[in-house]
Chain A
Amino acid sequence: MLRVTRTIPKRFKSTPKISDLNKPNEENLTPEEIQKRKQEAAKLAMQSIKDMTSMLSSHDDKEVEKINSKPIYQNPKLFDSLNLLHQGQIIEELQEKYNKNWNKMTSKDKKLGYYISYGNWGPREKFDNWNTSEVPHDLPFENNVNKSINLPNDKISRLPERDLRLTDIRKDQFNIKRIDGVTKFFIYLSLAIALGAIYRDKYIGEDGKPVEVIIRDIYEEQRLEEERLEQERLEKERARKWYYLWLK
């Protein structure tokens, strides 16, 4: 049986790392210390994973965290400025209260609920008389009551529909042709830039107006001239009448 033994050349032997040099020999550590080290390593790993996930997530935690709803109940007007998620949180809280006995709801709950449903925010932004005793702007019916209806068999009829889009307060909302000044400015600006770019592209180019380069081929011109002369000569020859021969 052949037995081969090889010695590793010195140049291939790895030099010990500095960290390995500083590390105390693990054999000298007690089991408790080893356990402690393992726990620390696990903690560090967890922390690094958390850091990585926080780096990857783009949203701000404050925007998605639940808010303290008390100030909203105190001042329903604050509801307007909340983001959709927080508005949803408040509406959910209120809905839970609606689902229970309404007698147990506080006055603030009821006020906030009414404000959210019919207050001057969102699509009802300009409805400033929501908290007055005036007729609400979005009441979809007239109060033309027929006084002659008293008996069960009296005929009733439907009143003409009130088109809420045509009420003064809603006109602006439903006017889709109107564009606000800033938007109009940017639309016209972009149109002007586009037209300018098209003109520049067509007539001027990137580096000013392009110079038309005319390349003259002298040899080609000479050849064409010769060809022309030859043609003329041939035509002259063809133009000779038969009697020229006799005249010569």
Chain B
Amino acid sequence: MFSSAIRSSLRSRINPIKSIQPVRINGLTALKVNQVRNYSDHHEETFEEFTKRYEQEFEEAYDLFEVQRILNNCFSYDLVPAPVVIEKALLACRRVNDYPTAVRTFEALKFKVENNQQYEAYLEELKDIRQELGIDLKEDLITE
């Protein structure tokens, strides 16, 4: 009797796992797992949210493929990413030890900005990090 009382009290304490629930689909019982996709699929967000999200994504990027994927995504919006995002991107390139991607980041920036003045402003803003990491611009590196 004593042991059954303990057993029943223990059973009542165990919570069912909420993320895995049996679901009935077409007469078959399947396990529904709540999946989280960490892809950059955000249609409506503010400029600030975008900047924060990409700063974090670049900080968490663990290999070259990830860095290049995030770079492609962050340039695919109707805005030029903020200098702080570009800085994080450059640091991510440094972390995964890929120099050409760092050069390519500036190249992408050049084609994303509206005019040359804006590009110069970005370069001025990112001058320190560029010098610190030793990243050349494509126009300086490759001459026709």
Interface residues in chain A, defined as those with a beta carbon under 8 Å from any beta carbon in chain B: 95, 98-99, 101-105, 107, 110-111, 113-114, 116-118, 130-133, 135-136, 139-141, 143-147, 149, 151-159, 161
Known interface pairs A110-B99, A113-B100, A117-B104. Does A156 touch B47 (Cβ–Cβ under 8 Å)? yes
Taking CB atoms, residues of chain A closer than 8 Å to B94 are 102
Contact of B80 among A135, A145, A151 (CB under 8 A): A145
Interface residues in chain B, defined as those with a beta carbon under 8 Å from any beta carbon in chain A: 42-48, 50-51, 72, 75-80, 94, 97-104, 107-108, 111-114, 133-136, 138-139, 141-144
Contact (Cβ within 8 A) B108 A139:
yes
Taking CB atoms, residues of chain A closer than 8 Å to B135 are 102
Contact (Cβ within 8 A) A156 B76:
no
Contact (Cβ within 8 A) A153 B48:
yes
Q: Measured between C-beta atoms, what is the minimum distance from B38 to chain A in Å?
A: 16
Contact of A159 among B76, B103, B143 (CB under 8 A): B76
Contact (Cβ within 8 A) A114 B141:
yes
Contact (Cβ within 8 A) B108 A152:
no
Contact (Cβ within 8 A) B100 A114:
yes
List 30 interface pairs A-B (beta carbons < 8 Å), by A numbering.
A98-B97, A98-B99, A101-B134, A102-B135, A103-B133, A104-B134, A105-B134, A107-B136, A113-B100, A114-B99, A114-B141, A116-B100, A117-B98, A117-B100, A117-B101, A131-B142, A140-B75, A145-B112, A146-B78, A149-B47, A152-B46, A152-B47, A153-B48, A155-B44, A156-B45, A156-B47, A158-B76, A158-B78, A159-B76, A159-B77
